[in-house]
Structure 1
Amino acid sequence: MKPRADMIWDIIADLRIATSFVTIFPVGSSKPAGDGAIARATWALPVAGLLVALAGAAAYAIARKLGLTPGPAALLALAATTLITGALHEDGLADAADGLGGGRTRERKLEIMHDSRIGSYGVCALILSFGLRWSALAAIANPWAVTLALASAHVAARAGVPAFMSLVPPARPDGLSASAGAPPGRSVAIAFGLGTLCLALALGPGKALVGLVLLSLAGLILARLAIRQIGGQTGDVLGAFEQISEILILLVSAAFLQAGG
């Protein structure tokens, strides 16, 4: 067993890797990120997601304090989260939509997803993503409820990524997902536990269960689609999974959380 000091430094290194991976903050670990370090650090993705959520919640609360209505405040919250992540997941969603929606062969679909240009499927996917998330936050309205919704969405959306990476093989040997490796069972379990705990605390056990069922169904459908069309998952597919999960949890939150000024 490792000494306690080494374990603490390993946890800090994982948090830094996860945060640098999903945000624009330059906090990458000083330790080498090889030998499966990224895969092991995936347990910390929900923690990094919480940081993103708090940035969005702060933007929303400040906007409301300045007298803005829920609509513009919700748009500013989305702008903050998109800025913090460098639009990483939105880019993945757009590329995955273009690739899975276009191209007749596996090779052509992967080529489209690798292309930095955005197509009609990608544009439509982004419009739907921002529109659904914006309308959900605007409907929730209350700043504290918006904070709970953003926290549960960003944490839970990233909590399922390690499981998706573990269960769905990489579509190509040279992509980002393949280089990261498959997360170990411990990382998958910790991430899932953090996501479930956040959902239960923010929405309550019953509503959290609804969210988990929806996320599981979305993950299974996307996994089946990706395996059939391109042979597995890529970094873009993972980004799409995060966005779909985030949308679903925000919609569940809008349906159940108390709206108000």
Structure 2
Amino acid sequence: MSRLRREVRVFFTAVMFLTRLPVPRWTDHRPEYLRQAPRYFPWVGLIVGLIAAGVYEAARLVFPVNIALVASMVSSILATGAFHEDGFADVCDGFGGGWTKEKILAIMKDSRLGTFGVIGLGAMLGLKFLTLQALTGAPLVALLLFAHAASRLFPVAIMQTYPYAGDTEASKSRDVTGRLQPVGILLALGVLVVPALMLPPAYLLTLVPAALVTFGLARYFARWIGGYTGDCLGAIQQVTELTIYLGAYIIASQ
């Protein structure tokens, strides 16, 4: 198999893993492709951002901004099958209700949604909406692209620096938890070039608080469970996306 065809298969494997978007029928969860897929996770985030931005712009032609924002948020959730939101809610339940590593991991594996998860997810979605609503004077389309791409980059960074703490035999994420080669890391970082060129340079500073939040959460997870799980990565995506929006609001209001 040629190198290009292999990269195409790896890319579509990443799309299939992170989203509900249609992929070619020959795409599967083959471990050899899953192990390489994280280098394309931020690029998949860029696609999700394009969907969210496109729906926002289309809805804004017909509806008020508030409705357009809700439509945009819903479109990104539908595109991913609430993949990251589910992880965030599980983390809220696990770390909110568990006091040992074993209990936390058991709660996060439970498919049922608990009180902490409901409250956390409601607060997350509400804060995203209110922040985006306050950002309507900022370059919102470019910001959506940037936030969705960058927020998928930070979990990949954690995968390079912290150990996996879940049950590797039962986890759906077990095959994507390996370390990337330097070329893969550069490819993952390259996704930020496109949206960064669309934004005023000051907005790139939002990466600083997002990075601080990322590694702060990673240290918290490591202290309690010895590393990260797939749910932890989903939580990091959600929190860093919101952090970028909040940082952008501070910049836009200056």
TM, length-normalised to structure 1: 0.88
Count of residue pairs the alignment pairs up: 250
For 1:239 and 1:116, the matched residues in 2 are separated by 15
Deviations 1:191-223 (A, max 9, x none): 12323x245324333431x22211211111111
3-state DSSP of counterpart to 2:67: helix
Instruction: Mark the CA change 1:233 to 1:33 in structure 2 (over 3 Å): closer, same or farther.
Output: same
Q: Is the 8 A contact 1:16 1:29 kept in 2?
A: no
Verify: 1:6 aligned to 2:6, yes or no: no
**Where does residue 23 of structure 1 map in the other structure?**
19
For 2:111, the equivalent position in structure 1 comes to 116
2-structure distance, mates of 1:255, 1:74: 19
Q: For 1:69 and 1:137, how far apart are their aligned partners in 2?
A: 14
Instruction: Give me the whole-angstrom Cα distance separating, in 1, the residues matched to 2:131 and 2:94.
Output: 27
d(CA) in 2 for partners of 1:220, 1:155: 18
Q: Does the 8 A contact of 2:70 with 2:129 survive in 1?
A: yes
2:73 is aligned to: 78
Question: In structure 2, do the counterparts of structure 1 residues 38 and 69 end up closer, same or farther at CA, with 3 Å as the change threshold?
Answer: same
Deviation at 1:35, TM superposition (A): 4.4
Aligned: 1:242 with 2:237:
yes
- Specify the alignment match of 1:55 in structure 2: 51
Q: 1:32 to 1:59 in 2, by over 3 A?
A: closer
> Match for residue 99 of structure 1?
94
* CA contact 1:92–1:236 (8 Å) conserved in 2: yes
1:189 to partner: Cα distance: 2.9
Range that drifts further, 51-60 or 93-102:
51-60
Which structure 2 segments of 5+ residues have no match?
A: none
- What root-mean-square deviation, in Å, do the aligned CA atoms of Structure 1 and Structure 2 show? 2.1
For residue 170 of structure 1, give the secondary structure of its aligned residue in structure 2.
Answer: coil
190, 194, 198: which is aligned to 2:191? 194
- By how many angstroms is 1:45 displaced? 1.2
Shift of 1:252: 2.4
Q: Distance in 2 between matches of 1:139 and 1:198?
A: 24
Quote the Cα distance in structure 2 between the aligned partners of 1:9 and 1:234. Answer: 30
Give the share of equivalent positions with the same residue, in percent. 33
Residue type of the alignment partner of 1:168: Y
Using the alignment, how far apart are the partners of 1:25 and 1:243 within structure 2? 19
Residues in 2 aligned to 1:223 and 1:247: alpha-carbon distance in whole angstroms:
17
Q: Is the 8 A contact 2:20 2:79 kept in 1?
A: yes
Report the counterpart of residue 39 of structure 2 in structure 1: 43
* Residues 203, 253 of structure 1: 8 Å contact kept: no
Per-residue CA distance 1:86-117 (angstroms, 9 max, x = gap): 00000000001111121121111100000111
Residue by residue, what CA displacement relative to the aligned partner does 1:226-249 show, whole Å, maximum 9, x if unpaired?
Answer: 111112111100100110111111
Distance apart, 1:31 and its partner CA? 6.0
Quote the residue 2:148 is aligned against.
154
Which residue number in structure 1 is paired with residue 165 of structure 2? 171
**2:223 is matched with which residue?**
228
TM (norm. structure 2) is 0.90
Superposition misfits of 4+ residues, deviation over 4 angstroms: none
